[in-house]
Amino acid sequence: MKMLLKSSSFSSFLMAGQSVSALSLFSAEELEFIAEDETIEIIPNLRMEPLNLLCGDFGPFFPQIPTQVPLWLAVALKKRGKCTIRPPEWMAVEKLTQVLEAERDSQEMSEQLPFHYVEISRLLFDLARDDIPDVYMVRSLIEDIRDVRFHKVETDLEAFNGRTVAVKIKNLSAMEVNIVRPFIGRALQAFYKHDSPELIPDPERVSDRRQQVATTAPRRQLRR
Amino acid sequence: MASNPMDSSTLPTDDYETLISTTDVELLKRAWRNEKAAPEILQFETDLIQRIREQILLMDETVEEFTSSGIDPLTVSLYQMDLDRSQFLLRSYLRIRIQKIEKYMFHIESTDELWNRLSREEKNFARRCTDDLKRHLDETVLSKLPDNYQSVQKQSVISEDDDMVPKPQLDTFVVCRSKEYLTGIQLEDGPVDDRSKLFEMEPGVLYFICYKSIKALVESGKIDLV
């Protein structure tokens, strides 16, 4: 969580009420656990028989022959010096520069990064930095992208109002969802509650059927 | 989990999802996420859990065999990690359900639909929990109150419904994703013919939505909670 908290005012306003971790559905570790099932390409430097694991079959492994494995397996081999990890295409400087531009140019969230881009890149920065070309540049680009995206989510949130019953959140990443979830969840729930006629005792409305039909008009009118 | 933009351009999301989610572990992960995100207890995945248990047992034996037959320790440790990951998922899945049962035991016990969602072991557990708690509340408090106030379920005899029983909040907002294009989701409790309140979901796109409106779709497996 640490990495995320320093990023913007956004996370700090979420902190105002209760701690983020207490409200988030998934802990940072659980999100990482989920992301570790994403596949990634490795270049082994050992020979190893195929692995018939519960989560799928992988290998056989031959030196210098690239193969696809889940991230956790790649990291385990990497830690023991048994492979190099080929960073995913989206982690190239050129690609990330494009993404950053796209993110800056439009209020829409770009769809060019994978759902778990924050977790995947963090794992690779921590454990396979020597396999990432231009690692400093890549890292700072990803941080910038994350900040720009958070800022956009923040502005999107301002557009919420009492009429909001469902929100489409196109291309939000796993970490972003987890961070905004407690806030959006509570906000929408509050709107929903204040909007439910059965929860607001209003004798006038109950006694007059026609009035009830009119309640589909903007909610503000109810406040008269 | 269809996250790679390269793939989503060549394959429709739902095909891609079925393609990669063929292992039971993947199915368990989906069940785990749904259970974690849903405010109420969901149907126990009897068959899936049975299969996963067998696979875990079998793999546990295999790993032991490997260790004793001198297979290279790196391979053994990789199998062990895979085993640990599956066991974590299974434990976490069962634990979330137990937490929900503890929280809503009286409500679950008195609602047939919910009661039937529990596994045999969970039913035993829930029965023991409710019995213990009832006895405890009776002995410590309720038996000392006036006759009209002795129910575990109701504040007093004039209460119309069980107002002392905690129930899950079904109007909680959840994040979800549909596998296919869905239309005609009713967002509020209004009349169905009011088209303006019907909502459609595109496949693969995330939505924040009131759990109540998509409850049936989660139960039928059309929508995944995230």
Q: What is the pLDDT of residues B61-109, one digit of tens each?
A: 999 999 999 899 999 999 999 999 999 999 999 999 999 999 999 999 9
* B187 and chain A in contact, CB less than 8 A: yes
> What are the beta bridge partners of residue A166?
B209
| C-alpha span between A208 and A197 (Å, rounded) | 13
Instruction: Find the Cα–Cα–Cα–Cα dihedral A164, B174, B39, B159, rounded to 10°.
Output: 0
pLDDT per residue over A135-168, tens digit each?
999 999 999 999 999 888 888 777 666 555 677 8
Task: Name the one residue in this structure whose structure tokens are 């905004």.
Answer: A180
Q: Which of A20, A63, A66 is nearest to A180 (CA)?
A: A20
Residues A85-104: what's their mean pLDDT?
96
At A29 the three-state DSSP class reads helix
Neighbour-count burial for B68-78, b at 16+ CB within 10 Å, e otherwise = eeeeeeeebeb
> Which DSSP state fits A65?
-
> Binning pLDDT at 50, 70 and 90, where does residue A182 land?
confident
The Cα of A90 is separated from the nearest Cα of chain B by a number of Å equal to 9
| C-alpha span between B31 and B47 (Å, rounded) | 12
CB contact set of B60 (below 8 Å; sequence gap of 6+) = B83
Contact (Cβ atoms closer than 8 angstroms) between residue B89 and residue B28:
yes
Q: What one-letter code names the amino acid at A222?
A: L
* CB atoms A55 and B171 under 8 Å: no
| C-alpha span between A214 and B198 (Å, rounded) | 18
With a pLDDT cut of 70, the percent of chain A lying above it is 72
Q: Which of A168, A37, A157, A150 is nearest to B177 (CA)?
A: A168
Can you give the pLDDT at residue A185? 76
The Cα of A115 is separated from the nearest Cα of chain B by a number of Å equal to 5
DSSP B98-145: HHHHHHHHHHHHH-HHHHTTS-HHHHHHHHHHHHHHHHHHHHHTGGGS
User: Considering only A11-25, A61-75, A152-166, B25-39, which range has the smallest mean pLDDT?
Assistant: A11-25
Which residues 124-183 of chain A have a CB within 8 Å of chain B?
Answer: 165-170, 172, 174, 177, 181
If residue B59 lies in a helix (H) or strand (E), which one and from where to where?
Answer: helix B46-68
> Which DSSP state fits A92?
S
* A interface test, pick of B7, B36, B61, B78 with most A CB neighbours within 10 Å: B78
Q: Which domains does chain A have, with CATH numbers?
A: 2-35+87-223 (1.20.58.1020)
